[in-house]
Every structure is written in structure tokens, then in C-alpha cells.
Amino acid sequence: MSNLKINLSQIIINNSIVNNLQDEKLDTLNPFTFIEYLNYAKIIEEDIKSFNNYQDYIRKWSNFTKKTNTNFDSLIKTEFINLFKELKLNYTTYEESRFLKNLNYNDDKDLSIAIPFFAKKIKEIIFLYKNKRDTFSKLLRETKDKGSITNIKNYITSKITDIVNEDSFNVNIISNNPLSSLPAKIQIDIEESYDNFNDYYDLDPNKPPEFYNADFNRDFFYSSNTNTISGNDFIDFEKAIINFINTKDIKLSELNELSPKIEINEVNDDFLDNTDYNDYRKTNRENLKIFQQAELVKNLIGTDYFYLSTDDNKNFTFDNLFEGNNKVSNLLNINNPTTLSIPSTANIYERDTGIFYKPTKFSLLKMKGGFNRILKQDLKANKLYIFPDPSSFGNITGLSNSKNETPYEFIVDDSVFKNRSSSFGIRNPKLDSRDQGFYSYDSFQQKRVGLNHLSTFNSPIPNINNYGIIDSHFCDIYGNMYFSYIKDTSYIKFDTNQTFENDRKIFKSSNTRTSYVKTLSSKLDYFDKKNTEKNIYVLNVSTNKYQPISSTMEKVFKKYNFNSLLFDELNTNIREINVVYDIFSIKTDNFTLIDSYKYDGDFSNTSSNPLILNNNGPGLINSISNDYIVKDIIYKTRINMVPSASAHHDLYYYEFYSYNLNDKKFNTIVSKEKNSFDYFNDNFKIEIPAKVYSIKNSNLNFNSKTGLFSLTVQYLDLNENTYLHSLLYRIINNNLEIYSNKLFTPNNYFNTTTFYTSAGLTAYNTGTISSTPTLLSADGIVVL
């Protein structure tokens, strides 16, 4: 506004783009209004003349701005040059950097030379975005997976590979594999942990706060975690307040510490504190917190509540105590309205629970049944009973395991249970389509029982009564079917007359049958069936003939007639048979044989080397494990007692063999021929404090996750006590590497008494024997 100049021939308009002054331009976007014009021009003339001058100004302004319009191109050029200046180029050479940094953007020549470099950068940006479009779906997936187990695995894998790939990683890794193969070789196992705290709902308010992970402050300030239902809160205000005051432990101040706790029986507001009211100041009784808490109870309970109140003469009134406001949301709050919101910090891992029995596979068990109720005879006088809706809930505990005292006796209504016509389902509750059922474990054997009490398989071959019932059947690779018959009816009777023992601890307030005394039966149990002699029949798929294995495989068995005992047993005495592809594994009394055969419509033998494992002869303890196939290799273990073992029968040859199903060759891993005696003496000397009488079973297993074989051998002593020998081992390059070698022995509850003093006999009843006792020298026992 300075520089006011008055020129007679020319009017200077200050702060305008039309003057030549170096002042601030205020009309760059819009021309001045007439008033503004008069203001900036600082002229005082006749109105009409001023207006003419204003028109002159407008014309000039218009000309001026038009001139800048024609210069639009240079504006755009400026915009592009700004873009070029912003582009951060990656210089490849020093010279390039020097040229582009010192570029004169206003020089056409320089610009023309530099533009290809800028274009290159723009192209890079274009491809950057293009790649982002390509990887978007992958990124989207990763984002969606965030927080999942898979994502955590991927994240850990990428972090591990990052560490190895980073330049700063100085450890020399020597590997024949390229680094890119690393992620595929990293295996991440994540074990999930679960919150198995069970008391978020229906929490007993008498539990200490530590139980639900709330320290005392928390318990104090957030007291609505647990709520007590106090019947009087809903029925009798006076009594409710009296009860409330009595919880305060009122004492006489005159007696100080020595004062007993006094009980009041009328309402005196003086005993109430400010904090007992909603606003922390004493007002009306309606504002007492206990009544608000009563409202809270209604909102948090999953059932209606009833009360039954008795007088001195046990006359009673019965009525609705309150109705739950939101029963569905609080379904699990039956006895206690709880809003426990503190997560438990004690987690349980899959490994602790077992792989299958994860908490996610657990569910609420709701026992459904019908019951009738009758009022108890011995109702207490002057008592207020409160209880959940007796038509919906019986005398149950809910999650809290604590229950209210109820004036009713609940009697199970038998008509809601299935009866005998439901076979195994007897005593299960009747269900309809709205119920979710939980079913007991059914054994395979149960399912196999047909109406005639014979086992049934879905096979085209009937049971042959003379030879027993079909115990198992399977096919070889050609489609020939093998059937093994055992002489057992395998009938499992549902026995309702058993003496069951009841256990009230498993489910509170209910009995669970845990054990029973097995009635003597001639039926074979599972183990008996496994070891019993079997009749094997084969259905030749080509000839459609169904014959005993001795005739079907006559040509195959002929190969073994060099050993007459083996040959005989194969024909007459097979205890176990497995066929995989075209390889059979047969266990007889004294032998285990694995070999292959050929089939071209008829069975014939091959020239392959069979694996024949024999027992170490009569009187010596022995056992051969089951077949266990891992990656097309059958593994077998033979346990033979060392003849020179001590009288305790404590030393055994543990011999390990494998048979390859593909090249049909067997392999000795550990054997008494291959390994030294010391090897067995060091590893397989069984420290059993009693004389081993037999090996009941030896079972071979394999865990693919750990890569460990597990051999469990069950030794029996003369008293039929069980000793378990557990051997965990790996087989690496045909070598046995023992991982764990443990023996589990039972506690000894047997007493030893010396009979040769008369004092020792006093504890026993004595009698005479009629026959001559004999001593079995082998076992050292006396048979009467």
C-alpha cells in the first residue's frame, strides 16, 4: 500500500498484476471489485470517470491473464520438471550421477538427454505397481491367515530363512542343497495350548478369589464377578437389610477387641455406611446397593428362581422368587449368577492332554432325563429355601459343583430311558431330533455279533460251524481272500446282573459304574483269540475254490519241507497270518515265517529267501512280536531267553529283523549271531525280583512323529504279576539305537513267612492234605 504515486497520464493500481511494481499481487485470481479498485487505486474522481477507469483496469487485467493462459504449456512444463526433480534415480555410474545432479532443467538439450533416464525410473515404478497387483492375492491370503497356526508357522519359517539369508549372518553353512530349498526343509511344529478353566460360569461365590485368578483388589472392586442370591432381597426388604448389616461383623466399641460379634434384628440406618449406597451417600433405602445387586442377579441367571418358606409349624408358602431376564444368554448360570471375565492364565498343552482329547473336542455334557419331584418330609422350620425352577432343573450342581438346598426329592422317571429293546442302548435317555446325543464307545466285536450270536463280516463266505467263526479276513494283491476261523462264538452278552461298583466322585451327585467282577466264562478274550489256533481258508479268485490253506498253498509250503516241524505246523497249526501284497507272514507254535509267493491262477513258491524265526525250544521262555509295517518294511522282534540265564530267567536275546516288501529280502538288525553276548547282557538283562514264568505278549509299534519304535514286552512271574518292559528305539541305517529302555514292576504286596518255626505258622490256618505233593523242579513250585 506504499508507493502511492499519482501520475496524470496513468493510474497506478497498487497490489495489482497490471502495475510494474514489486509489491504483493492481490488480484492474481480475480480482478478487484470496483470498491477494491477504488481502494487500491487511491483516486478520487467523478464516479463516471472512475468507472471508466475501472473498465480500463478490467481490460488490462484480462489481457494480462490471457497472456498467462497462453503460457499454459510452460506451467505444465514446470509441473513435469518438478516431477523430474522429485524422482529419486538410482545412478549406475558416478558420471551419470554428476550429470543428472547438475542438470539444468531449463536447458532443452540437457532435458532432452535426461528424459530417457526419468522414463526409465517411471517404468520401474510402473513395474513395481504391476508386481504388487500380481502379489496382491498372496498378500490377501497372508492377511487373512494372520493369527492362525499356519501363519505363525510361515512367519517363523520366513524369520529363520531371513536369518540365514542375511549378509550379516556369519556362520558358515556348508550344505549341498541350495539355500532356496531351506524353507521346504524347515519343519515347524506348534503345540496349541488351551484354557481349560472350567468355572467362568456358575462360579461359587464362596470360592477364594485366587481360584479364579483375581487378586484381592480385583475381587474388592469388581465384586460382580460373583454374585450371591439372597432370597430376602426379593421378598422382605427389612430382613434383607438386617441380613446385610449382620454381614458387617458389628461389634461393641466399648469392648474393643474383646467384643463378641452382635446380631441385630431390626433395621438401624446408623449401621449402614456411605459405601452401601449407590451414590456413596446415605439416602433412601431404595438406593442401597443390595437391591441393585438383586436386579443384577435377575439379569445374569439362566433360570427362573422359586422359593419355599416355612414357619414354626413347617407350614410353607411357595412362589416365584424372580424371573430371569435373559435366560438364554446365561444358560450355564444355574445356581450362581456369574460374570467372570478374567481369563485364566493356566493353560494346558496338547501334549498334556493327549493328541485326540483336546479341549476343543470336549463339550458340555448335559445329562438329560425325566424326573418327578415330591416335597421332602423333613422340611426345616423357619427356613427359606431358594432353588432353580424345579420343573427344569433337578437337584443338580451345574458347573459350580455346589448346589442350593432344595425342599424336593427328585426321583428319576424310568419312562425317559430306553428299555431292553434298544439293545446296547438300554438305560440311555430317549432322544428326539432336538437333542444332541453322546454315545458310548462300541467295540468292533460288538458290531460283529449277528442274531445267531455268530460273528459276521461283510464277506461272501459264511461261517463254518465246525471250524468256528470268522475272526478276520483280508485279501492279497491278486484278490485272493483269506479267512481265519476261530473256535469261539465271540458273543458279548449285555449283562445287567453284574455287581457294579459305584463312584460318586466322577460326576458329582451321580453314580458312575467303574468296575465289575467278571463272571467266569469260557469265551475267549481278545488276547486269547489272538493266540488261539486258527483254521485258515483261502478263496482262490481264479478257480473260485474255497479250500484250507494247506491245500491252496500246497506248492508254496512244499518249499519248507526241509524242516518237517515247520512243514507240519504250516499245514496244521497256524496261529496268526498276515498277507501284504504277495507276501505272507505266518506264525505257528514254534516258527514265524515271512516269504513271498507267486500267483498265476494257482499258488506257487518263489526262489526268494524266507525269514524263518524259530523259538528256542521247549522250556525256554520266548515270544515273537507282531508284524509292524513301516514304509513297506515289515519289522519283527524275537525274544528268546538265553539258555545260560540265571534261575530268575533274567537274560534274553532281543533280536530284531526286517523284511522288505519290495525286494523281498530280509535283513538282520540285531541277532545273537551278529551281536556279541555282552551286547545282550548289557541291554537286556531284566532286573525282575521274581522268577519269570512266561512272556504273555510282546507288542511292536511305531510312532511316525518321533520316528521311534516301541516294543512292549509283558513278562509274568509265577504269581502272574505283570512286568512291563518298554523299549523305545530307532533304526538308522540298519542299526538299532536305543532311546529308552525301562522296566515297570508292580509293588510287591506279598509276604514271606518262614515256616520252620512254629511262631511263623500261627498266622495261618492249617489242614491236612490227602494227596502227595509234587515239586516241579523247573519252576520250583509245589503242586498239591
The site for other proteins (CB under 8 A) is made up of: 73-74, 76-77, 79-83, 86-87, 92-93, 95-96, 98-99, 108-113, 115-116, 118-120, 122-123, 125-130, 132-134, 136-137, 139-140, 142-143
Please report the DSSP string for 150-204 in residue order.
HHHHHHHHHHHHHHHHSTT-------SS-GGGHHHH-------EEE----SSS--
Tell me if 606 sits within 8 A of 583, measured CB to CB: no
Residue placing its CB nearer to other proteins in the complex, 119 or 375: 119
**Which C-beta is closer to other proteins: that of 6 or that of 122?**
122
Q: Are 739 and 730 in contact (CB under 8 A)?
A: yes
Closest to other proteins by CB, 77 vs 529, is 77
Strands of 190-324 (E only): list them: 193-195, 305-310, 316-322
Identify whether the C-beta of residue 322 lies closer than 8 Å to the C-beta of residue 297.
yes
Shortest spacing between CB 154 and other proteins, in angstroms? 14
The nearest distance, CB 321 to other proteins, in angstroms, is 52
Least distance from C-beta 147 to other proteins, angstroms? 12
- In terms of CB distance, is 146 or 185 closer to other proteins? 146
Please, what is the minimum distance in Å from the beta carbon of residue 28 to other proteins?
A: 22
CA atoms of 201 and 400, how far apart (whole Å): 8
Q: What is the CA radius of gyration of the chain?
A: 47
Q: What pairing do the DSSP bridges indicate for beta strands 193-195 and 347-349?
A: antiparallel
Residue written as grid cell 460326576: 507
Report yes or no: 102 and 114 within 8 Å, Cβ to Cβ.
no
Helix axes 289-300, 237-246, angle to 10 degrees: 100
Closest contact distance (angstroms) between CB of 614 and other proteins is 57
Q: How far apart are the C-alpha atoms of 615 and 617, rounded to whole Å?
A: 5
- CB atoms under 10 Å from CB of 357, counted, come to 10
- State the minimum distance, in angstroms, from the CB of residue 179 to other proteins: 23
Spatial distance between the Cα atoms of 650 and 40, rounded to a whole number of angstroms: 121
SS3 781: strand
CA distance 392 to 331: 12
Nearer to other proteins, 139 or 163 (CB): 139
Closer CB to other proteins, 124 or 210, in the complex: 124
Mode of pairing for the β-strands spanning 583-588 and 574-580: antiparallel
Specify which residues 641 forms β-bridges with: 652
Residue (132 or 545) nearer to other proteins, CB: 132
Kindly give, in sequence order, each residue whose CB lies less than 8 Å from that of residue 364, ignoring residues fewer than 6 positions away. 332
Task: Answer yes or no: are the C-beta atoms of 661 and 638 closer than 8 Å.
Answer: no
List strands edge to edge, sheet with 535-539. 469-475, 481-486, 535-539, 546-548
Within 10 A of 664 (CB to CB), how many other CB atoms are there?
A: 19
Residue 80 or 693 having the CB closest to other proteins: 80
Output 47 or 95, the one with its CB closest to other proteins: 95
64 CB burial (10 A radius; 0-12, 13-18, 19+): middle
By beta-carbon proximity to other proteins, the closer residue of 146 and 505 is 146
Shortest reach from residue 94's CB to other proteins, in Å: 9
The least distance separating other proteins from the CB of residue 66, rounded to whole angstroms, comes to 15
Residue 604 C-alpha cell reads as 506257487
What is the DSSP secondary structure assignment for residue 285, as one 8-state letter? G
Task: Please state the closest distance from residue 120 (CB atom) to other proteins, in A.
Answer: 7
Nearer to other proteins, 120 or 248 (CB): 120
Q: Grid coordinates representing 731?
A: 533304526
Q: Nearest approach, Cβ of 116 to other proteins (angstroms)? A: 5
The grid coordinates listed for 455 are 460273528
Calpha distance 185→183 (Å, rounded):
5
- Name the helix (H) or strand (E) containing 122: helix 108-145
Nearest approach, Cβ of 73 to other proteins (angstroms)? 6
Pick 75 or 775: Cβ nearer other proteins: 75
CB of 115 to other proteins, least distance (A): 5
Q: Least separation, in Å, of the C-beta of 473 and other proteins?
A: 34
User: Whose Cβ is closer to other proteins: residue 129's or residue 749's?
Assistant: 129
Q: Which is nearer to other proteins, 82 or 329 (CB)?
A: 82
Q: Closest separation between CB of residue 103 and other proteins, Å? A: 10
Residue carrying the nine cell digits 509293588? 747
Collapsing DSSP to helix, strand or coil, 318 comes out as strand
d(CA 602, CA 556): 10
Q: By CB neighbour count within 10 A (0-12 exposed, 13-18 middle, 19+ buried), where does 70 fall?
A: exposed
How far apart, in whole angstroms, are the C-alpha atoms of residue 5 and residue 1? 10
